[in-house]
A and B are shown apart, each in its own frame.
Chain A
Amino acid sequence: MSVSDVTTPSRKVDMNELLERLSTVEQRLETLEESQPDDMVALIVFSGELDRVLAAFVIATGAAALGQEVSMFFTFWGLGVLKKESNLAGKGLFEKMMAVMSPSNSTELPVSKMNYFGVGAKMLRQMMKDNNVSSLEEMIDMAKEMGVKMLACEMSKDVMGIHDDELMDGLEPAGVASFLGESLRSRTNLFI
């Protein structure tokens, strides 16, 4: 198409139509860009077993290293990872039973297979050490240092009778809506 083609009256109408279509495309592009996921990763840590939790922290620290904003939502058995101690004061009967029967901190987590009353977990920890894999506790510290957000589900805290003074510091309270708010914007969502 030459320049004269564009300036002839009949072509001018086409130009207007073209501009209109262009602005529609621009608008649609803008909407599309807004709905693009951010550089975020959301993990739900439901399990309370050493091997599964370890997988969660390897992904979390790895993703943080890759420049992703990482959120970890701890719920049900996953809350055991965040405990620093069990405190029986002020608990009801079932809550006390739950506290006595579940790990009082991350070092007491069982393994999902071949636990044999904790022997399996000890063995796995030793094998990790022998293979120069960081311990779970080192990874938790590393994750915190790298700005991984750790959120504790309020509802499961209540259900399991876990009080704030039993959990480590620096956690954010969370519910399903605050999790979804982040997960909908995330590229990767995992339930572990």
Chain B
Amino acid sequence: MNEVHYDDTLDTKGLNCPMPVVKARKKISELTEGQVLRIISTDRGSIKDFQGWAKIGKNLELLGQETVEEDGTELYLHFIQKTS
């Protein structure tokens, strides 16, 4: 599995739309240019949400998305880079 390098993690487990994106926006503003944020979510809708966010949001790039299973629940991982 090719792991994406990340600098910080945001845990949004249990949170539902629109909170994962809202929290991620706040968190990413604390990062510096080039850094990558890993977001962990249990919200199925977050896959499309982060794709949309990266498309519309300026200075952001979605490096990758992964679905992993932990204790029977599906976790959705999103890797977002602050490009400027």
Contact = CB atoms under 8 A, between A and B. Distances in A.
Contacts of B26: 146
Interface in B19-42: 19, 21-22, 24-26
Interface in A29-80: 58, 61-62, 64-67
A112 interface: no
B15 interface: yes
A158 B24 CA distance: 40
Interface extent on A, as a size class?
Answer: 10 to 19
Classify the secondary structure of B's interface with A. Answer: helix
Q: How large is the interface on B (under 10, 10 to 19, 20 to 34, 35 or more residues)?
A: 10 to 19
A132 B16 contact: yes
A142 interface: yes
Nearest to B13: A132
B21 A65 contact: yes
B64 interface: no
B14 interface: yes
Contacts of A67: 25, 56-58
A134 interface: yes
B21 A66 contact: yes
Contacts of B14: 132
B17 A58 contact: yes
B53 A65 contact: yes
Given A62-B21, A65-B57, A67-B57, 6 more contacts: A61-B22, A62-B18, A66-B52, A133-B16, A133-B17, A146-B26
Interface of B: 14-19, 21-22, 24-26, 52-53, 56-58
